[in-house]
Amino acid sequence: MYSKVLSGLVRGVEGTLISVETDIHDGLPMMNMVGYLSACVREAGERVRTALRNSNFSLPPKRVTINLFPADIRKEGTAFDLPIAVGILASMGIIPQESIENILILGEMGLDGHVSSVTGILAIVHHAYTQGIRKCIVPSGNSQEAAIIDGMTVIPVESLTELVDYLSGISAIEPEYVDVDGLLGEAPDRRECDFSEVRGHETLKRGVEIAAAGMHNILMTGPAGAGKSMIARRIPTILPKLTLEESIEITEIYSVAGLLKDGASIINRRPFRSPHHTISLHAMSGGGRDPRPGEISLAHGGVLFLDELPEFGRSVLEVMRQPLEEGAVNISRLNGVYRFPADFMLVAARNPCPCGQYPDVNKCTCTVNQIRNYNARISKPLLDRIDINVDVRKVQYGELFGDGVGASSSEMRARVLAAQNIQLCRYKGEDIRFNSQLDSGMCEKYIPLGNAEKEFMEDCFTRLSLTARGSYRVLKIARTIADLDGDQDVNVRHLEEAVFFRNADGGGAV
Question: pLDDT in tens for each of the 510 residues of the chain?
Answer: 899 999 999 988 899 999 999 999 988 888 999 999 989 899 999 999 999 999 999 888 999 999 999 988 889 889 999 999 999 999 999 999 999 999 999 999 999 999 999 999 999 999 999 999 999 999 999 999 999 999 999 999 999 999 999 999 999 999 999 888 777 776 544 446 888 778 778 889 999 999 999 999 999 998 888 888 889 999 999 998 888 888 999 999 999 998 887 666 788 889 999 999 999 999 999 887 778 899 999 999 999 999 999 999 999 999 998 898 888 998 887 767 888 999 999 999 999 888 887 877 788 888 889 888 888 889 888 888 899 999 888 776 566 666 666 778 889 999 999 999 999 999 988 888 899 988 888 998 999 999 999 999 999 888 888 888 888 999 999 999 999 999 999 999 999 999 999 875 443 333
Which pLDDT does position 475 carry in this prediction? Answer: 94
Distance (Å, rounded) from C-alpha 480 to C-alpha 213?
7
Q: Are 94 and 52 in contact (CB under 8 A)?
A: no
Q: 64 and 199: one domain? A: no
DSSP 341-394: E---EEEEEE-SSTTS-TT-TTT----HHHHHHHHTTS-HHHHHT--EEEE-PP
Find the CATH number of the domain harbouring 373.
3.40.50.300
Q: 365 and 244: one domain? A: yes
Residue 127 lies in a domain: yes
> How far is CA 236 from each of CA 190, 293, 356, 491, rounded to the nearest angstrom?
9, 21, 26, 29
Residue 81, C-beta contacts closer than 8 angstroms, at least 6 positions apart? 44, 47, 48, 51, 107, 108, 109
Residue 8 lies in a domain: yes
Q: 380 and 329: one domain? A: yes
DSSP 38-67: -HHHHTHHHHHHHHHHHTT-PPPSSEEEEE
Full residue range of the structural domain in which residue 86 is found? 2-167
Q: Are 124 and 10 in contact (CB under 8 A)?
A: yes
Q: Are 13 and 255 in contact (CB under 8 A)?
A: no
Q: 259 and 320: one domain? A: yes
Which pLDDT does position 402 carry in this prediction? Answer: 64
Q: 426 and 443: one domain? A: no
Three-point CA angle 93, 95, 100, nearest 5°: 125
Last residue in a domain, options 391, 416, 435: 435
Residue 479 lies in a domain: yes
Q: 19 and 40: one domain? A: yes
Q: 283 and 198: one domain? A: yes
Which pLDDT does position 136 carry in this prediction? Answer: 97
Query: Alpha helices of 376-448 — where are they, by DSSP H?
Result: 380-384, 397-401, 409-426, 440-446
Residue 172 lies in a domain: no
Q: 391 and 351: one domain? A: yes
Residue 72 lies in a domain: yes
Residue 150 lies in a domain: yes
Find the CATH number of the domain harbouring 117.
3.30.230.10
Last residue in a domain, options 140, 167, 194: 167
Find the CATH number of the domain harbouring 447.
1.10.8
Residue 180 lies in a domain: no
Distance (Å, rounded) from C-alpha 215 to C-alpha 202?
19
Q: 466 and 350: one domain? A: no
Q: 418 and 452: one domain? A: no
State the total domains in the chain.
3
Last residue in a domain, options 435, 462, 480: 435
Residue 399 lies in a domain: yes
**Predicted TM-score of the model (pTM):** 0.87
Q: 361 and 489: one domain? A: no
Q: 393 and 256: one domain? A: yes
Within a 10 A sphere around the Cβ of 91, how many other Cβ atoms? 25
